[in-house]
Amino acid sequence: MTLNRQLRVAVIGAGPAGIYASDILSKTDLDVSIDLFDRLPAPFGLVRYGVAPDHPRIKQIITALYKVLDRGDIRLLANVEYGVDVKLETLREFYDAIIFSTGAIKDAALDIPGIELDGSYGAADFVSWYDGHPDVPETWPLEAQSVAVIGAGNVALDVARILAKHPEDLLSTEIPANVYEGLKKSPVTDVHVFARRGPAQAKFSPLELRELGHVPDVDVIVYPADFEFDEGSIAAINKTNQTKQVVKTLTDWTLNDPSTFSASRRLHLHFLHSPAEVLDADGDGKVDGFRTERTALNGDGTVSGTGEFTDWPVQAVYRAIGYWGSELPEIPYNDKRGVISNEEGRVLDINGEYVQGLYATGWIKRGPVGLIGSTKSDASETIRHLVEDAADLESFATAIRPEQDAIVEFLEERGVDVIKWTGWQLLDAYERKLGEAEGRERIKVVSRAEQIDISLGRREG
């Protein structure tokens, strides 16, 4: 069978996963028309709202993503929220297939006493704040002098570095004005990062860790007593150059003479400390301490508790133990893994059967692991299955209103301010102009309403 029209595919989520999936699909032999949706007014997902502002090298990924969308063969429909502005039943009227690439934006839970106290935060929320996410409050309670950060990955390092860094040293970045003003009032002097396992099990990237040692007026302090290596640790060091570099950097820091430390702020890295409790000794509902249990390596890189506890006098705790995917209306969800139920990107129902026309890619498919390379291969797998399924055109092409204008008319009739690629370009130019006035690449617009007005030409730059 041949169609007298293009196949219509909707991709829900305009971060790297959604853009890569759209790009790969556009280059297949299918005659396909692709619409890329995002609930935010601006595209690029966690690259825009999940990477610390002082990591412009990583943010350059946006340049590649920009080129894909700038070609014009993939239509951006931003500021449209799945489940609110358009539901699954409606999408099926307009599209033959739907790919979900909504990512993982919530914090993974940490089940320890006191985690709900005032002053205990998820790292994802803090990252969203300092990256100028339009859906979080524009102020953040930065009142602690000593802070605990739980985690042994790059997000934990980002949170710790942003907290410890003097805000003046962020003024060359795209940091929003409200974030700079908030950080400027912070009384912080000490940030403690706690890792449950040893140095060889840390998930820091070598470059990010080395950069930590060059933050002005911040001493990085590690503790020789935390440096233990079992057979599993040695095997990990010998297996990958990344682990070897991380361990070398950390070990080199143990040789620093404490008497030479003179910075006004300190960033402490603790290993073999498992989170046990967030403390509220005063009973006022606010964090005033953090308790850890000393752990010991078991020989295979895992750890066990020793029963030895330490209380740390901190006034805020940030957990950076991983992201978690959000459940989507009407889409089968695996709450044990925080992902859409799927097999290699094909969405599965409660009986494990493929739900025709529904697919997933990115972190909402596989969980919040892997970098950009993983996201590309992940998208390729999903698209390969979509192409295989589309071979049976008679059953695959199910849209009853496939005209390209139909979905836009539907949304606009309901008062949705749909932002297309030209709208993003207006916002992009506006932010760059703000930055140019201060010698920076850009300064982000934070307010959702302001972003929408600029993107729709209601406010001139």
pLDDT of residue 374: 79
- Classify residue 2: in a domain, yes or no: no
Question: Does 291 reside within a domain?
Answer: yes
Please indicate, yes or no, if residue 78 is contained in any of the structural domains: yes
The closest of 87, 84, 41 to 419, measured between CA atoms, is 41
Q: What is the pLDDT of residue 369?
A: 81
Q: Is residue 213 part of a domain?
A: yes
Q: Over range 66-85, report the average pLDDT.
A: 97
What does the pLDDT average to over 426-441?
Answer: 94
Instruction: Return the pLDDT at 168.
Output: 96
Please state the domain count of the chain: 2
Closest CA relative to residue 174, chosen from 64, 68, 58: 58
The pLDDT of residue 55 is: 84
Kind of pairing, strands 354-360 and 323-324?
Answer: unpaired
What are phi and psi for residue 185, nearest 5 degrees?
A: -90, -5
> Is residue 452 a part of any domain in this protein?
no
User: Is residue 200 one of the residues assigned to a domain?
Assistant: yes
pLDDT in tens, 161-175: 999 999 999 999 999
The mean pLDDT value for 412-432 works out to 97
Average pLDDT over residues 82-89: 97
CA dihedral for 149, 245, 255, 273, sign (positive or negative): positive
Mean pLDDT score, 287-299: 97
pLDDT at 201: 97
Here the tokens at position 260 are: 């030479």
Distance of CA 422 to the CA centre of its chain: 25
- What is the H or E stretch that residue 147 is in? strand 146-150
For residues 250-268, average pLDDT: 95
Q: How confident is the model at residue 56 (pLDDT cuts 50, 70, 90)?
A: confident
Query: Which pLDDT does position 217 carry in this prediction?
Result: 97
Same domain? 272 vs 127: yes
Give domain status of residue 338, yes or no.
yes
Asked if residue 361 lies in contact with residue 17, where contact means CB atoms within 8 angstroms, the answer is yes
pLDDT over threshold 90, residue 59: no
Report whether pLDDT(124) > 90.
Answer: yes
Q: How confident is the model over 367-378, as a mean pLDDT?
A: 82
201-241 pLDDT per residue, tens = 999 999 999 999 999 999 999 999 999 999 999 999 999 99
Considering the domain architecture, whether residues 170 and 79 belong to the same structural domain is answered as no
Co-location of 356 and 305 in the same domain: no
Provide the pLDDT for residue 461.
Answer: 58
> Residues 329, 265: one domain?
no
Q: Is the pTM of this model over 0.85?
A: yes
Confidence check: pLDDT of 246 > 60: yes
Question: First CA to last CA across the chain, in angstroms?
Answer: 51
Of 432, 434, 425, the closest CA to residue 454 belongs to: 425
Q: Are residues 319 and 329 in the same domain?
A: no
Sequence letter at residue 344: E
Question: Is 77 found in the same domain as 222?
Answer: no
pLDDT at 190: 98
CATH no. for residue 31?
3.40.50.720
Are residue 250 and residue 181 in the same domain, yes or no?
A: yes
Structural domain containing residue 337 = 7-105+325-419
Are the CB atoms for 174 and 442 separated by under 8 Å?
yes
Largest CA distance in the chain: 78
Q: Report the pLDDT value the prediction gives residue 200, as an integer from 0 to 100.
A: 97
pLDDT for the residue numbered 4: 86
How far is the C-alpha of 359 from the C-alpha of 284, rounded, in Å?
48
CA of residue 238 relative to chain centroid, distance: 30
- What is the rounded average pLDDT for all residues in the chain? 95
Domain boundary, last residue among 291, 323, 355: 323
Across the range 338-365, mean pLDDT stands at 97
Structure tokens at 120: 């205990």
Residue 196 sits in the same domain as residue 124: yes
Distance, CA of 308 to CA of 397 (rounded, Å): 63
Residue 429 covered by a domain: no
Query: 346 and 368: one domain?
Result: yes
Non-local (6+) Cβ contacts of 180 within 8 A are 167, 170, 171
Structure tokens at 351: 């009986």
For 40, list phi and psi in degrees, rounded to 5. Answer: -90, 160
Report residue 2's pLDDT band, with 50, 70 and 90 as the boundaries.
Answer: low
Same domain, 174 and 234: yes
Q: Are residues 112 and 194 in the same domain?
A: yes
**SS3 (DSSP) at 355:** strand
Q: Of 323, 356, 391, which closes a domain? A: 323
CATH code, 204: 3.50.50.60
Residues 195 and 305 both lie in one domain = yes
pLDDT of residue 1: 53
Percentage, residues of the chain above pLDDT 70: 98
